[in-house]
């Protein structure tokens, strides 16, 4: 084989390698385009995700504010109820004293019952409940399921105390 044939053979080999390089270059261009699309889609996803997180956050803040307002209203209502209840207890005691003056046998039983009623510090219990509701309001931001369970228990306790007091007042009359 002469020199010219060798040069032509080498040039043909070089041409084949350039052809493969051209193919790989085209593939790299396609990959570059695909990565650009992926980046654009990722950016759109992040923007959408951020908007949804902001919407959820706003909803949670609104819900927390509504819950706090309802707890405050309930607390005020409980405080008013406790004062009214305490006033009713005071009036019931006066009535019991009047009945005690008229009936000496009943008076002993009524006085014993009045001592028991006075030993129950309803206002202090409602103040503790008020403090518990305040703490519950703060904790609600951390765990709303726990808050609902605590409120249910507290309200059930209030109902039990009120029912017991009503039963005592009914037994007095």
Provide the residue-wise pLDDT of the chain in tens; the chain has 173 residues: 688 788 888 888 888 887 887 877 778 878 888 888 888 898 998 899 899 989 888 998 998 899 999 989 988 998 898 888 889 888 888 876 776 566 666 556 657 777 776 777 666 777 777 787 777 777 655 666 666 667 777 777 777 777 778 777 777 76
DSSP character at residue 120:
S
Contact predicate 135/68, CB 8 Å: no
- The pLDDT score that the predictor gives to residue 69 is 93
- The pLDDT score that the predictor gives to residue 115 is 77
Return the half-sphere exposure (C-beta side, CA atoms, 13 A cut-off) of residue 162: 13
- The pLDDT score that the predictor gives to residue 44 is 92
Contact predicate 54/134, CB 8 Å: no
Report the C-alpha gap between 158 and 130 in whole angstroms: 11
- The pLDDT score that the predictor gives to residue 100 is 58
Using only C-alpha atoms, the chain has a radius of gyration, in whole angstroms, of 41
- The pLDDT score that the predictor gives to residue 140 is 59
Residues 6+ positions from 157 with CB-CB distance below 8 Å? 129
- The pLDDT score that the predictor gives to residue 97 is 73
Contact predicate 144/152, CB 8 Å: no
- The pLDDT score that the predictor gives to residue 98 is 74
- The pLDDT score that the predictor gives to residue 167 is 78
Burial group, residue 158, by CB count within 10 angstroms (0-12, 13-18, 19+): middle
Q: Look at the pTM and tell me if it is higher than 0.85.
A: no
């Amino acid at each position: 084989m002469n020199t010219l044939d060798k040069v032509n053979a080498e040039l043909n080999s070089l041409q084949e390698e350039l052809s493969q390089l051209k193919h790989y270059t085209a593939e790299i261009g396609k990959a570059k385009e695909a990565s650009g699309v992926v980046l654009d889609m990722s950016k759109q996803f992040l923007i959408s995700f951020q908007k949804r997180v902001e919407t959820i956050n706003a909803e949670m803040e609104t819900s927390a504010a509504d819950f706090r307002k309802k707890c405050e209203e309930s607390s005020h209502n409980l405080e008013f109820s406790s004062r009214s209840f305490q006033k009713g207890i005071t009036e019931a005691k006066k009535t019991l004293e009047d009945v005690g003056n008229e009936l000496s046998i009943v008076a002993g039983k009524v006085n014993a019952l009045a001592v028991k009623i006075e030993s129950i510090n309803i206002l202090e219990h409602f103040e503790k409940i008020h403090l518990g509701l305040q703490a519950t309001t703060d904790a609600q931001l951390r765990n709303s399921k726990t808050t609902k369970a605590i409120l249910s228990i507290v309200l059930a306790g209030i109902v039990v105390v009120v029912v017991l007091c009503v039963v005592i007042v009914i037994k007095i009359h």
